[in-house]
Chain A
Amino acid sequence: MSKFQFPPSIISRPVYGTLEARAGKQHLMIADAEGAEALLDLAAPELMARSHIIFISRGTDYAERLKALSPQQFYEGPTYAASVSRIRRVLQDAHMGLQVYLAGTEGLMGQAQNEAMQAGIPHTAIQTEHRGSTARRMQCVHCKGITEDVAIDPFQCAHCGLNLFVRDHYSRRLAAYQGVCIDAEDPGNVPAAKGIYE
């Protein structure tokens, strides 16, 4: 599957690369949905022998193929939220030389990157590769509520119901883009929603 090319944007917007195997004692790989394809592309037996894969399928059927890579540890979580405590535990137990690989949606990579940062790993040392949905994790700047998987602009905040436009301004700490009321100056004047990259 070809990778989506994100258009050029402002400096706070994350950019993603292509995962590559790096020298390390341990390899933590976290992926969701089509992110599995990035891990499949990366797989080599000697790497997998030291890898812990945490995978959230989101309705895809990659789990068996990932398991077939024979990673040292494999976990399939039903949701990201359900896997967070495991991710924290792995990071807490980690030693120098841990390599972190993130693949899949921006929301998954952003949240997992945030966990790794809180464990003391600089964000620049964490590899990321975008695959699959280009929908965004958005924070409403007004009510602070997070709306997951936003694919259209403007969208309605899942919490306060305001109509928000999708900014490219991104916070690593919140693992979210910023949504701002689109009709604040002219209430009710909300343009028709279209895809974020249309």
Chain B
Amino acid sequence: MTLQFNDETFREDYSFHNSQRAINRFPFPFDKDSYMYAVNMEQHRGGPADSVYEKRFDVDEHYVSEMRDRALVLADDPLRCQSLPHMTLAGWDLLELIMVSKSEDYPDLFQLHRNGDQWHWINKPLGIDDTFTFMDETTLPYGPMEYITRQAQGDFCVLDQRDDNLWMDAGTVTTQADWSLDFDIGMNFFEWHAPVPLAHEKGIFVRALKFLLNIQQGAPARRLNWTMTVNPLLDTSPENYHKWGVQKGTITPENIGAKQHLRVELQTFYRLPRSNALVFPIRCYLCAFQDIVTMPKWGRRLHRVIRDLPEELATYKGFIDNRPMMLDYLSKFDDGLPTSNGIWPEKDSEPPLQV
């Protein structure tokens, strides 16, 4: 199908919106009626047609506007994109991975022509047509990682692997769930996850690290993570928290369906061939509560998950104060009927809401 790109904003007037197609394919993160941390990794080898799992790097209707938002964030704060000196090779690896994947998966949108180290890259949605020498930084307007991540939705953390650990040594991070690349750069896997409650004690990070250290070329993995965001704000950074934090207080029973968004991260993990680094794309999908509850299964389940979530997690994810209002809203979409297993909405087989 031909993608129509939305002209929308993720700030100020927040004109972001999801089409019916985007709602249908929203990666609802709960596969059962409760939630607790789990490693929850699976192979990233495609998925149902038109789902966000289908392609290696999903391109959707928000692509052009998200890239415009990224450019605004980087203009305001260039430290959202950083690469320690030993990570340039990994940046080229990432550029290659994204260009090859996108040109193969979306040939109508992206083209890559390679003649030895002379590469010709065409990005039609963004109107980019560049010729450059692979592995020669002077032939690109930015470093390789910055160049390509200005053209790819989601944040990108490029992790060096040494001493049986992963190190956050490069990244482009403008759509983050409240963590700072500038602060965390150079940290190892346990250190940058240090503020996460409960998961260390459950051994989640030890198991996750073991899994990630063993990811092989050509065998990427994926998982979903989630949090809550008031207004469709991509840049929920700690840097700007003093500006956006106040928005959490603007929720009312009347506007919560439109303003409160479930924020889902599709996290994928790819081994990079030359550097042996691991790239960790974190793709953010936003969906307003009022759109989620149009899927009866999701409405029932979201109410149960939020209601039963441990207090530490609701606090860490930053919505403890708004939880009662969320539950008032969501309870109207939970009739107590059982839900089917798995994340898919099953719109044809789940019973409609009983009122």
**What is the interface of chain A, defined by CB distance below 8 A to chain B?**
10-13, 139, 141-142, 144, 162, 167-169, 171-174, 178, 180-181, 184-187
CB pair A142–B182 under 8 Å, yes or no, is no
Question: Closest approach, in angstroms, between the C-beta of B82 and any C-beta of chain A?
Answer: 10
7 CB contacts below 8 A, A to B, read A11-B190, A12-B194, A144-B182, A162-B242, A171-B186, A178-B183, A185-B245
Is A12 within 8 A of B185, CB to CB? no
Q: Is B106 an interface residue (CB 8 A)?
A: no
Q: Is the CB of A13 within 8 A of B194?
A: yes
Q: Is B192 an interface residue (CB 8 A)?
A: yes
User: Across the interface, do B242 and A184 meet the contact criterion of CB distance under 8 Å?
Assistant: yes
The answer to the question of B47 belonging to the interface, with a C-beta cut-off of 8 Å to chain A, is no
- Given the interface pairs A10-B194, A10-B195, A178-B180, the reply to whether A141 lies near B245 with Cβ below 8 Å is no
Shortest distance between the CB of A73 and any CB in chain B (Å): 31
A174 and B191 alpha carbons, distance in the complex (Å):
14
* Least Cβ–Cβ distance between B183 and chain A, in angstroms: 5
Q: How far is the CB of A117 from chain B (nearest CB, A)?
A: 9
Given A11-B190, A12-B194, do A186 and B241 touch, yes or no (CB 8 Å)? no
Cα–Cα distance between A184 and B243 once the two chains are bound (Å): 7
Q: Which of A168, A171, A181 contacts B183 (CB 8 A)?
A: A171
Q: B347 near A: Cβ within 8 Å?
A: no
Q: Given the complex, which residues of A lie within 8 Å of B192, measured CB to CB? A: 12
Which residue on B lies nearest to A172, using beta carbons?
Answer: B186
Let me know if B42 is at the binding interface, CB within 8 A: no
Bound complex: CA of A143 vs CA of B63, how far in Å?
Answer: 30
- Say whether A173 contacts B185, CB under 8 Å: yes
Q: A-contacting residues of B (Cβ < 8 Å)?
A: 79, 180, 182-187, 190-195, 200, 238-246, 248-249, 321
Distance in Å: Cβ of B291 to nearest Cβ of chain A: 25
Expressed in whole angstroms, the Cα–Cα distance for A184 and B190 within the complex equals 28
B-chain residues with CB within 8 Å of residue A178 when the two chains form the complex: 180, 183, 238
List residues of chain B with CB within 8 A of the CB of A173. Answer: 185-186
| Residues A180 and B238 in contact in the complex (CB < 8 Å), given A141-B183, A169-B183, A187-B246 | yes
> Are A142's CB and B248's CB within 8 A?
no
Q: Are B187 and A12 in contact (CB under 8 A)?
A: yes
Contact A142–B242 (Cβ < 8 Å):
yes
Contact of A185 among B185, B190, B321 (CB under 8 A): B321
Residues of B within 8 A of A172 (CB): 186-187
Q: Apart from A174-B183, A178-B238, what are 10 other A-B pairs with CB-CB below 8 Å?
A: A141-B239, A141-B241, A142-B238, A142-B240, A142-B242, A144-B79, A172-B187, A181-B242, A181-B245, A185-B246
Find out whether the CB atom of B249 lies under 8 angstroms from the CB atom of A185. yes
Q: How far is the CA of A105 from the CA of B77 in the complex (A)?
A: 32
On whether the beta carbons of B321 and A139 are closer than 8 Å, the reply is no
Assembled-state Cα–Cα distance A139/B248 (Å): 25
Residue of A12, A142, A169, A174 near B239 (CB, 8 A) is A142
Report the separation of the CA atoms of residues A142 and B238 in the bound assembly, to the nearest whole angstrom: 7
